[in-house]
Amino acid sequence: MIIGIVAISKNYAIGKDGKLPWHYSADLRFFKETTTGNAIVMGSNTWRSIGKPLPDRLNIVLSRNGDTPVHRSVMKLSSKEEVVDLSKYLNRDVFIIGGAKTYAEFAEVIDQWLVTTVPVEIENADTFMPNDFLNEFVEIESRQLDDGLTVRKYIRIG
């Protein structure tokens, strides 16, 4: 399954100055427990922001630029199609972990979304999710995390 996982503010912000505009340990814990043992796919900007491979997961970085430096344990791919093909050979979920450009590229092939709502408005954010990204999805579960966060699971209906 291909699963989008994202944390968004009340005004749909997800990033500012190349970083997450908040720090919530509860969401980082949720992200770790959910993605461990699976594959994670990130765009090159998010890769630069994280700066190192995340342990116990297959880390895949997307870039059209052959010179984008990655750690030797990281798989670098150059198209969505390569990720989709690879996902058919993995007995694991593939989590699309961002950022905005990467979510947009994968929008049509994402089967499920896991969305953490962060209870703040972010001033001067520079990276957002589109307001309609869940239009073809329906919520099937929600769970409270610490720090006033809620995670909702959505499955595709369209």
Ligand X SMILES: NC(=O)c1ccc[n+]([C@@H]2O[C@H](COP(=O)([O-])OP(=O)(O)OC[C@H]3O[C@@H](n4cnc5c(N)ncnc54)[C@H](OP(=O)(O)O)[C@@H]3O)[C@@H](O)[C@H]2O)c1
**Residues engaged in binding ligand X (CB under 6 A):** 6-7, 14-15, 18-20, 42-46, 49, 62-65, 68, 78-80, 97-102, 105, 127
Task: Give dist(CA 102, CA 152) in Å, integer.
Answer: 20
Q: In whole angstroms, how close is the CB of 20 to ligand X at the nearest point? A: 5
As a residue count, the chain comes to 158
Q: In whole angstroms, how close is the CB of 80 to ligand X at the nearest point? A: 4
CB nearer to ligand X: give 39 or 42: 42
CB nearer to ligand X: give 91 or 107: 107
DSSP state letters, the chain: -EEEEEEEETT-EEEBTTB-S---HHHHHHHHHHHTTSEEEEEHHHHHHH-SPPTTSEEEEE-S-TT----TTSEEE--HHHHHHHHTT-SS-EEE---HHHHHHHGGG--EEEEEEESS--TT--EE--TTTTTTEEEEEEEE-GGG-EEEEEEE--
Q: Which residue is nearest to ligand X (CB)?
A: 99
CB nearer to ligand X: give 20 or 58: 20
Lookup: tokens for 103: 């979510």
Q: In whole angstroms, how close is the CB of 105 to ligand X at the nearest point? A: 4
Q: In whole angstroms, how close is the CB of 78 to ligand X at the nearest point? A: 5
Q: In whole angstroms, how close is the CB of 70 to ligand X at the nearest point? A: 10
CB nearer to ligand X: give 79 or 142: 79
CB nearer to ligand X: give 4 or 91: 4
